[in-house]
Structure 1
Amino acid sequence: MMKKLIVSVILVGLVLSGMAFAPRMALAGEGDTWTGDVIVIGPDGETIFDDEVTIATTTIVDVDGDKHHFFSPTALGALDEASWSGDFEYEVEEGDYGLWITSIDGYENEGGCGWMYKVDGESAEVGADKYELEGESEVRWYWSGM
């Protein structure tokens, strides 16, 4: 009898501990995975990065140290993964309309010049943190005279 009670308590404990982890596991699995090409072209036309990356969820840390979590692949997440793969840095600030890039590989936005991006050759109408990527596509970051 005592053995059955101990086994029952252990089983209930295992079930409950599994339930405690279930929401975290579901959260980590949310969103889709995206694989595509990321190209970063600097002010002088030099290629800073040109390779394929794969992303799903992303955590971006802005210049103030605030963390921003994205559970779907975004154009900003693609840049973040490219920066890890290509060993270059970028900076992002939070503004009234979301996150925006202020610097890539040491090239800072200045005056009327700064960083822009296109997806499949089309200029985006939303910030990179709001542009959700799907299917095979190319994200191109480039220096522009705005």
Structure 2
Amino acid sequence: MKRSHIFVFIAVLLLGLLALLISAERADRRDSSGQISTKLEQQETRQEESSRVSTEVDLSSENRPSGSPGGQASKEDGKKAASGAASKVSRPTFERSTSSSGEGASSKDSGDAQNSEKVPGIRVGVAVVGKKGELLFGPAEVVVRADSIWGITALGALDATGLPYEMSPRFPDLVVAVAGQRNEGQSGWMYKVNDEVPLVAASKRRLQEGDRVIWWYSTSISNPPPQWSSLKKSG
């Protein structure tokens, strides 16, 4: 009889322990499941927040180019401010460069004028007589400059008259036409300096201050050259 009571007591004790173990296990499961669910909820919350932030960033970046009126206004204001600043910086430089270039041009012109005054030149008398004895130029004084194409020579005096003339392509020092009157056969253009008919090309005959140069169209060697005094009277 005592043994049966002992067995019953042991059985009840075991059942109680078993019940405690089962309840403890369930509590652990609840805690673990609760922790897991809490972690899942936290992860979901973080994902939602990150997705929302990225969406807002995307929306803001998309709105910047096309933009709202305020964004466009600020962008335009920024451009205006930048352009205004650039104009403020570049404008004085431009004015300075313009003024400096103007000063340079004026100084260059004055320098050229001074140089032109320094270039040596002489005054000579020139007359040009055509094939019919008509005066094509002068007699008058001209200035023959050293920096002219032919220098201070008899040909330079002809060039100083402004009359059109042509040179021979075969003989560069030979004048073949003056004022449209061309050399023909034994007739053609000759020149003399004072009372001398030089035997050198006109581009080689140097002149001095006050010389008198006559260019005339000679139709015959036997005809004498024109005289300055007679040309002066007829002129």
TM-score after normalising by structure 2 = 0.41
Change (3 A) 1:119 1:31: farther
Higher relative contact order (CA 8 A, sep 6+): 1
CA distance in 2, matches of 1:142, 1:92: 16
Identity %: 34
Alignment of 1:52-63 (within 5 A): 52-56=141-145, 57-59=147-149
What SS is found at the alignment partner of 1:58? Answer: coil
1:45: which partner in 2?
133
Contact between 1:34 and 1:55, CA under 8 Å: does it hold in 2? yes
Q: What's the Cα RMSD here?
A: 2.3
- Equivalent in 167, 187, 199 of residue 92 of structure 1: 167
1:29, distance to aligned residue in structure 2 (A): 8.9
1:22: which partner in 2?
none
Contact between 2:124 and 2:208, CA under 8 Å: does it hold in 1? no
Contact between 2:124 and 2:210, CA under 8 Å: does it hold in 1? yes
Structure 2 residue identity aligned to 1:135: E
CA distance in 2, matches of 1:126, 1:94: 18
Structure 2 residue identity aligned to 1:78: A
Higher normalized strand content (fraction of residues): 1
What SS is found at the alignment partner of 2:155? Answer: helix
- Equivalent in 152, 169, 187 of residue 73 of structure 1: 152
1:30, distance to aligned residue in structure 2 (A): 9.1
Higher normalized helix content (fraction of residues): 2
Instruction: Give aligned pairs, total.
Output: 105
Flag the structure with larger Rg: 2
- Equivalent in 176, 195, 207 of residue 133 of structure 1: 207
